[in-house]
Amino acid sequence: MIEDLVTGGAGFIGSNLAARIVAERGAVRVLDDLSTGRPENLAPLGTAADLRVGCVTDPGVLAGAMRGIRRVFHLAAMVAVERTVREPVEAERVNALGTLRVLEAARAAGVERVVLASSAAVYGNDPALPKRETMRPEPVSPYGVTKLAAEHYVRFFAREHGLRGVSLRFFNVFGPRQDPRSPYAAAIPRFLDALLDGRPPEIFGDGRQTRDFCPVEDVVEACLRAASAPGVGDGEVFNIGRGEETDLLRLLDWLARGVGRSVPPRFAPPRPGDIRRSVADVSLARERLGFAPAEPLDEALARTARWYQEHRRCEA
């Protein structure tokens, strides 16, 4: 019997989470409109992944997807910051209204707990570091604004309707299945794709901007812990990262060593909505969820680089 639903489960993080759920519980249901997700990400799971194609803003689709479900992992979203700057109304529809629809459907279906994928983007450019959950959010993009609204909806449904919910503020997630060819691709898959092609990796800005890079396996672990941890579910918010600040030039150097190729980068103007520095304080997640990174960052990056190299060979 399927008891877990992953919205956005054909995407990068969602498909990794779906695979872990299948490994532990035997089956998973996925709801994805395939606007950015790929059915092939779920292909290794075979019939253990029940893929429903549809949008989280559609109440009818959601009602069907929620039947028999006990835990919802809500990852479906417009996640490209630059795109949300250009299309703020669509970002509001998908990220804020979509979350509201998911919560309404979950409440009607008797779901026990909802885990929301939020983002470090809610913090914005506040210079105070590390980012703590008690800090006042100052989002600088529609992406951050809509994720913050989604967190408030989770908290409202927990307190008003008794629908247990937790929001996880993901920092910069990386790992297998992250698409390097999307125009909104994240730094790590873009850098690896360029290095493997022998092209200059493109850096937006001066390369001194920092991020807290977190392996997708750690994020999946955090999601599962948030779905089952006792004593949480009242709309709490937790940072999910490593607590390590890494600038893009250092990141590129690590990746170049990982694939055995060094190509000087090409610098481009900063992207709209990008923040300058970011690093998480993960002590609250460690204390309340038992969350901790599984391996050193350089080892996780080297493993990811090997995955992309092997994936390239399989495609050739």
Kindly state the percentage of the chain with pLDDT values over 70: 98
- If we measure between CA atoms, which residue out of 252, 232, 241, 263 comes closest to residue 132? 241
Contacts of 215 (CB under 8 A, 6+ apart): 173, 174, 175, 293, 294, 295, 300, 304
Please state the rounded mean pLDDT for residues 34-38. 95
Model pLDDT, residue 231 = 96
Query: For position 106, which CATH number holds?
Result: 3.40.50.720
Are 123 and 154 members of one domain?
Answer: yes
Model pLDDT, residue 238 = 98
Please provide the average confidence, as pLDDT, over all residues in the chain. 95
Q: Residues 79, 85, 86, 92: what is their CA dihedral angle, to the nearest 10 degrees?
A: 60
In-domain check, residue 288: no
**What residue numbers bound the domain in which 145 lies?**
4-173+213-240
The whole model's pTM is what?
A: 0.94
Are 59 and 204 members of one domain?
Answer: no
In-domain check, residue 193: yes
167 phi and psi angles, rounded to 5 deg:
-115, 135
- If we measure between CA atoms, which residue out of 266, 55, 285, 18 comes closest to residue 166? 285
Model pLDDT, residue 257 = 92
In-domain check, residue 113: yes
Model pLDDT, residue 313 = 60
Are 207 and 226 members of one domain?
Answer: no
Are 269 and 232 members of one domain?
Answer: no
Model pLDDT, residue 186 = 87
Are 271 and 191 members of one domain?
Answer: yes
Residue 182 clears pLDDT 90, i.e. is over it: no
Top pLDDT among 271 and 130 is at: 130
Taking each helix axis as running N to C, give the angle between helix 216-228 and helix 12-25, from 0 to 180 degrees, rounded to the nearest 10.
60
In-domain check, residue 231: yes
Separation of first and last alpha carbons in the chain: 39
- If we measure between CA atoms, which residue out of 309, 280, 304 comes closest to residue 135? 280
Model pLDDT, residue 271 = 85
Model pLDDT, residue 179 = 87
Q: Per the residue annotation, which of 143, 153, 184, 308 is the catalytic one?
A: 143
Model pLDDT, residue 298 = 92
Tell me if 169 sits within 8 A of 223, measured CB to CB. no
Are 161 and 272 members of one domain?
Answer: no
In total, how many domains does the chain have?
Answer: 2
Are 259 and 169 members of one domain?
Answer: no
Model pLDDT, residue 183 = 64
Are 66 and 138 members of one domain?
Answer: yes
In-domain check, residue 95: yes
Are 95 and 133 members of one domain?
Answer: yes
Please state the rounded mean pLDDT for residues 263-286. 93
Facing residues of 104 across strands? none
Residue 210 clears pLDDT 70, i.e. is over it: yes
Are 90 and 217 members of one domain?
Answer: yes
Are 163 and 254 members of one domain?
Answer: no
Residue 41 clears pLDDT 70, i.e. is over it: yes
In-domain check, residue 69: yes
Residue 241 clears pLDDT 90, i.e. is over it: yes
184 part of the active site: no
112 phi and psi angles, rounded to 5 deg:
-85, -40
Report pLDDT digits (tens) over 133-151: 999 999 999 999 999 999 9
Residue 316 clears pLDDT 60, i.e. is over it: no
Tell me if 211 sits within 8 A of 248, measured CB to CB. yes
In-domain check, residue 23: yes
Model pLDDT, residue 125 = 86
Task: Provide the token pair at 29.
Answer: 């249901």
Are 119 and 146 members of one domain?
Answer: yes
| Pairing of the two strands 28-32 and 4-7 | parallel
Please state the rounded mean pLDDT for residues 211-230. 97
- Going by pLDDT thresholds of 50, 70 and 90, the confidence category of residue 36 is very high
Please state the rounded mean pLDDT for residues 263-277. 90
In-domain check, residue 287: no
Report pLDDT digits (tens) over 69-124: 999 999 999 998 889 999 999 999 999 999 999 999 999 999 999 999 999 999 99
Looking up tokens 């948030």 gives: 226
Please state the rounded mean pLDDT for residues 12-36. 97
Query: For position 195, which CATH number holds?
Result: 3.90.25.10
- Going by pLDDT thresholds of 50, 70 and 90, the confidence category of residue 193 is very high
